[in-house]
Every structure is written in C-alpha cells, then in structure tokens.
Chain A
Amino acid sequence: MPEASELLRDQLARVALGDRAALRKVYEATSAHLFGVALRILRRRELAEDALQEAFVNVWNHAGSYRASQAAPMTWLISIVRNKALDHLRSGQVQLTESLDADDEHETKQIADERPDPMQLLLAAADALSIRACLEAIEASQRQSLALAYYHGYSHSEVAEHLRAPLGSVKAWIRRGLERLRKCLDGPT
C-alpha cells in the first residue's frame, strides 16, 4: 500500500496550494486515527474535538512547511495533534481527578475506563514494529514511565504520582528509557 502514503503526501502538497478538497481528503483519511490519539491524551471528547479541529486549521495554514523527504505524512500529522492535545493538558483545562457535576464525573470515568492500559499499547506497538524483544529488555519502570508520558501525556510529576516513585527517579527513568527506546525503534528489525 505505498500508494496510501504517496496519496497523502500529494494531498498535503495540494493543501499547501490552498486546495480545500485536498484538506477534506486528508481529514477523511486520518481524522479517526488522530482523534483517537487526542482522546487518549485528553480523555474528554469535547477537548479532543477542539484539539483535532485546531490541528487541522494548523495543517491548512502550514501545509507548506511539510517536507515529504524529512517526515512521513502521518508522523507530521500526529506531531501536530499531539502538540495541540498537550497544549490543552498544560493549559489546565483538563481536571483529571475532579469534576464539576455528576454527569461530567460519570463521563470522565467512562472514558477513562475505555482507555487501554498505556503499557499494553506500548507492547502492541512493539509487536507491530517487531521490536518486542528489544522493548522487553528495557527496565519495566522505564517502560511504564514512557508509556504513561507518551500515550496519556503525563508530566514527570504525574508519572511519579501514578507510579508512587520519587520525581528524581522518574526523570532518570524517562531519560534513560528514551535513549533505549530510540535504539529499539531505529535499529534494524
């Protein structure tokens, strides 16, 4: 299916020229996946909708800065969506532990329950990328920290709280874990 990627590259090139139909096509091809990514991080649908919408406005305005030789189209799009979602997280709109009314609480809980364990996602990703053995060689605490940070957008202190570990240790786990994960992801399969 190399055509899918090339099609997406072509459409992004057209978006850069102001082609609205191409933007629609990019949206149709990628929005479900990108919405899933935003939803993992933000939990709440309305916030994930905002992040997705802002991301596509960004794509429309900055498609000209996309360099096909340097990045795969999905990589570029995921980066934009994750950054928008992380912006929302950092702006403090998302209260993960409290809620104003009972309905909200219910909703938050429900969505939170639907979120797969980030560790399972990381292992699934490792399987899909054929790097399971390499990933499993990474210390469990490092892996867990990375999974919580990447899939849920947790900060150092949130990871520390979740794992009930000292902040200093978590920072070191993430630093070392990132280097080892990068080697797994970049290395030959």
Chain B
Amino acid sequence: MDYDKPELLNRLAAEYVLGTLRGRALNRFERLQLELPRARQAVAAWEESLNALAAVVPAAAPPGRVWEAIERKTGANRTAPAPRRWDWLRPILGVALGAVLTLGLVQLAPHLFFSLDRLAQREQALPQSYVGLLTDANNVPHLLVSSTRHGTRVTVKSLRPWQVPAGKVAQVWALPRAVDGGDLAPVPLGVAVPTKPPGSTYFELSANSEQLLSNVPRLAVSFEERPATTGEAPSAYVFSGFCVKLW
C-alpha cells in the first residue's frame, strides 16, 4: 500500500481509532505507527476528535480488586494501605460523578478532552492567559512571557538573540501594582534561559499565575548573580514591559 498518500493514512488512522480496522490491515497499521511519525500524528488527531464522544458514557465504579491487581502487576510493595478519612465518601462520589459524566463532562470540563490549542480553536478564542512583551531600553521586543491563567508554567519565548553575561542568570520579576500609594516590592518569578529565536523554554512558578500575576501590570528581567528569593531587590532591569490578562 502507498502510505505516502495522506488521504490513505488519514482513513486508516480514522478506522483504527474508531476500532473498525481489523485483521492484517490492523497489524500492518500498528507496525506503521512504530515507524512513521505521520501515522502516529494522524492517530493522535483522530483520538482527540473521536474520544470526546466517550465523555457521555455513563461511569461505573470498578471493584477494588482491579486496583489491587494493578498494584501487583506494577510491582508495588505489599503493604496494607492505611484507612483513609474520606473513604466512606467514595461510593457517594462515585454515583455523583456518574451523574455528572452522564450530563456531559465535556461541557463542564472540556479541557479534559481537548488539548489547549484545540480548545482555543473550538472556542475561536485564545486561552485565558497572562502575557508580557518585554522590550529593551530602546523599546525593541526581546521576550514574550506567557502562562495560562490557572497554570504554573511560564513560557519564555526569545524573539531576538540575547545573552546572559557569564556567571549570571536572567531573573524574571513581577512588578505588582502599588496599593494605597505605597510601592510593593518586586516578586521573583523564576529564571529565563535564552533560546535561539523563535525558540522558547519555560520555568515553573511556586503558585499558579492567577495568584502571582492578577495584580501585576508589569514584568521585568534583570541579570543576577544567582536566582533571587522573595524579599531580595533586583539590580538594573535589562528588559521590561506590560503584563496583560488575555481574557
């Protein structure tokens, strides 16, 4: 078969995910997935589309022996689990969860079934995010800093080549809005690493973006000897810019 034809690959992937690909065709396609990234991508795309249909299947609580078997087969030490305080709640939660799932988990939690990009595409809107465009002293944009509203991961995209002086780190700061006339101290968020434009890297926040950035109109980057800790004062800012809410 000529697997170079995208339509054929797409059709096979669709029937594979649906479950109607059987016999030798199934075996061939499973082998093909191991060899051909395009085949895997086609399968992933169909999985993301079709598996949204599974959200309405009524839930059913599996018996405890299933978990015990999983523990055995994954080589867990056989120690008796301590009874948990909320164990009595579990059957009730199971029923409630089943009801919720039947009502349509997709509506309540679409992100469980779609990747963030696909969700944004479906909604025709960008995901709720904090975004900062950081420029140098001449107003030339260098860094795009972003994170989803409830996420803890900050992505730093290099728009232009930039370097950190030897022995220093690029510290990213949140500059909170002043309250009652008094200034609030800058909060260190994390350390950015230069990448070849338009590449990006990320760092993790100590809390989610909403907690750290909801009152932050500006972000800045300074070069420091070592990653700053809360309470430390920044040296001169190399890049800075507005931080906006994307919703």
CB-CB under 8 A from A151, the residues of chain B are 53, 57
Evaluate contact between A74 and B113: CB separation under 8 angstroms.
yes
A150 lies within 8 A of B148 (CB): no
Q: Which of B108-159 contact A (CB under 8 A)?
A: 108-109, 111-118, 121-124, 148-152
- Tell me, rounded to whole Å, the shortest Cβ–Cβ distance linking A22 to chain B: 12
Decide: B62 and A49 in contact? CB cutoff 8 A: yes
> Once the chains are docked, how many angstroms separate the CA of A89 from the CA of B221?
57
Residue A17 at the chain B interface, CB threshold 8 Å: no
Query: Interface segment, B96-104, B163-171, B179-187, B212-220?
Result: B96-104
A100 interface residue, CB < 8 Å from B? Answer: no
* Residue B238 lies at the interface, judged by CB distance under 8 Å to chain A: no
Main DSSP-derived SS at the A contact region: helix
What per-residue 1/0 map shows which CB atoms of B37-81 lie under 8 Å from chain A?
000000010111111111111111111011101100110100000
Most buried by A among B11, B59, B149, B151: B59
B104 touches A127 (CB 8 A): yes
Residues B61 and A71 in contact, CB atoms below 8 Å apart? no
- How many chain B residues touch A (CB < 8 A): the figure is 65
Contact A75 B59 (CB under 8 A): no
In this assembly, does B199 line the interface, its C-beta being within 8 Å of a C-beta of chain A?
no
Q: Is A155 an interface residue (CB 8 A)?
A: yes
Per the bound structure, the CA–CA distance linking A40 and B53 in Å amounts to 13
A33 to B67, CA, bound (A): 15
The B-contacting residues of A in range 33-66, CB under 8 angstroms, are 33, 35-37, 39-40, 48-49, 52-53, 56-57, 60-61
Cβ-defined contact, B122 with A189, below 8 A: yes
Tell me the smallest distance from the CB of A94 to a CB of chain B, in Å. Answer: 13
Most chain A beta-carbon neighbours within 10 Å: one of B54, B106, B123:
B54
Interface flags for A97-131 (1: CB within 8 Å of B; 0: not) read 00000000000000000001000011011011100
* Residues of B with C-beta under 8 A to A70: 44, 115
Question: Of B46, B94, B104, which one neighbours A182 at CB under 8 angstroms?
Answer: B46
- When the two chains form their complex, are residues A71 and B44 in contact, meaning their CB atoms are under 8 A apart? yes
Kindly provide the distance from the CB of B151 to the nearest chain A CB, expressed in whole angstroms: 6
* B112 adjacent to A153 (CB under 8 Å): no
Residues of A within 8 A of B70 (CB): 23, 27, 53, 56-57, 60
Considering only residues 139-186 of chain A, those with a C-beta below 8 Å from chain B are 146, 149-151, 153-156, 159, 174-175, 178-179, 181-182, 185-186
Known: A153-B19, A178-B14. A32 touches B94 (CB 8 A): yes
B229 CB–A CB distance under 8 Å: no
Do the beta carbons of B18 and A20 come within 8 Å of each other?
Answer: no
* Contacting residues, chain B, for A60 (C-beta < 8 A): 70, 74
Contacts of B108 in A (CB 8 A): 1
Cβ A174 vs Cβ B15 within 8 A: yes
Closest partner residue, chain A, to B43 (CB atom): A79
Most A CB within 10 A of own CB, among B20, B67, B76, B151: B20
| Bound CA–CA A54/B57 (angstroms) | 20
Q: How far is the CA of A178 from the CA of B19 in the complex (A)?
A: 12
Chain B proximity of A21: nearest CB distance (Å): 11
Please determine whether A72 and B55 come into contact, CB atoms closer than 8 angstroms.
no
Interface: A69 (CB within 8 A): yes
B74 touches A36 (CB 8 A): no
A24, A76, A150, A175: which contacts B50 (Cβ < 8 A)? A150
A88 to chain B, nearest CB (A): 12
For B7, the closest partner residue in chain A by CB is: A179
The docked-state distance in angstroms from the alpha carbon of A186 to that of B60 is: 28
A124 in complex: contacting residue of B18, B98, B104, CB < 8 Å: B104
A71-B47 in contact (CB<8A): yes
- Distance from B143 Cβ to chain A, minimum over Cβ atoms (Å): 20
Rounded to whole Å, the gap between the CB of B62 and the closest CB of chain A is: 4
The reply to whether the CB of B105 lies closer than 8 angstroms to some CB of chain A is yes
The 5 nearest A-B residue pairs measured at CB: A128-B104, A32-B59, A5-B111, A35-B62, A74-B112
Residues of B participating in the A interface, judged by any CB pair closer than 8 Å: 11, 14-15, 17-20, 22, 26, 44, 46-63, 65-67, 69-70, 73-74, 76, 94, 97-98, 101-109, 111-118, 121-124, 148-152
